[in-house]
Amino acid sequence: MITHQSAPLSCWPLEVYDYEKEAVTDEAVGGIDLHAGAWIHCKWCNTTLPTTSHSLSRWKTHKKTKTHVKCKQKSVEGELFVQPQIISCSSQSSVSSSVDPPQLLSGSQLPLLDQDSLLFVRRHLYKNKQHQSRHERDVSNVINAMTSLVTDQQSDLTTLQDKMLDMTQQIQQLKKELEMLRRKRSQQQNNVQARPPEIDASTPYAAFHRTQFASLGRPENTHKQGSRTKQTRPSSSSKRSKRMTMGSMSDMDEFEKRFQLKERW
């Protein structure tokens, strides 16, 4: 059974409560103290605000806060319309009244199904954020790996270029040394060809070869003038060869004599 009380001397303004219709006029009001005017309840935020003698200053300030606006938007997005029964009470009496237009449920008054759906949406958003952060981390790791790989390849390429330059310089140096060796070898061959053959002086034919080689390199006028010089001035090499031939002939004679004596005996 619903009981009503006459309007007190100090009453709430019409913007929150209509005493003739005995109904709450502000859709955000979930409860109100009609007797003492000591509190007013916010339906969107599910909070009770203390007031002094039916004053709306604190209520108006609360309606401008971001929390109240967000809670109102959440309740509007629920799109569930009901006709709740709003209870107003005081320390001495309680008055119950119903709001004529349909009202939206607040966070605590929403069904469990809507709360589960809200939790599902939040969980889904959280998973999406985790997936996005993981994807961003993977992309950054790939970029860092590619950057380090390109840097290593550039350093390797620089090292190879330096090695190729050193090898080119070494090849040029070897070419120069090879050219110098070829020149020296050609000079040595030319010197060997221009040098007369060396004949051992101890052999009996050394004087003959020396005289023949000297006669080949001597000009023609020397042959005409050298007949007398040869007779008057014999060379030391010819003397030496005569001595060696005489010595060798005497040895042979002695050997033949000894051989003949042995045969006789």
Nearest to 34 by CA among 19, 21, 48, 44: 19
Neighbours of 18 (CB within 10 A): 14
Give the predicted TM-score (pTM) of the model: 0.30
Distances (CA, A) of 10 to 62, 97, 186, 241: 22, 19, 135, 169
β-partners of residue 103 are: 82
Task: For residue 19, give Cα distances in angstroms to 13, 59, 65.
Answer: 9, 19, 28
Residue 63, number of CB atoms within 10 A of its CB? 16
pLDDT in tens, the chain (265 residues): 334 444 445 688 888 888 888 888 888 888 888 888 888 889 888 888 888 888 888 898 988 888 888 888 888 776 444 444 444 444 333 333 333 443 444 444 445 556 667 777 888 888 888 889 899 999 999 999 999 999 999 999 999 999 999 999 999 999 999 999 999 998 888 887 776 656 555 655 555 555 655 555 554 454 444 444 444 555 555 555 555 555 555 666 676 666 665 555 5
Query: What does residue 24 show for φ and ψ, rounded to 5 degrees?
Result: -80, 130
State whether residue 52 is helix, strand or coil: coil
Q: Determine the residue type at 260.
A: Q
Domain locations in the chain? 17-109, 111-213
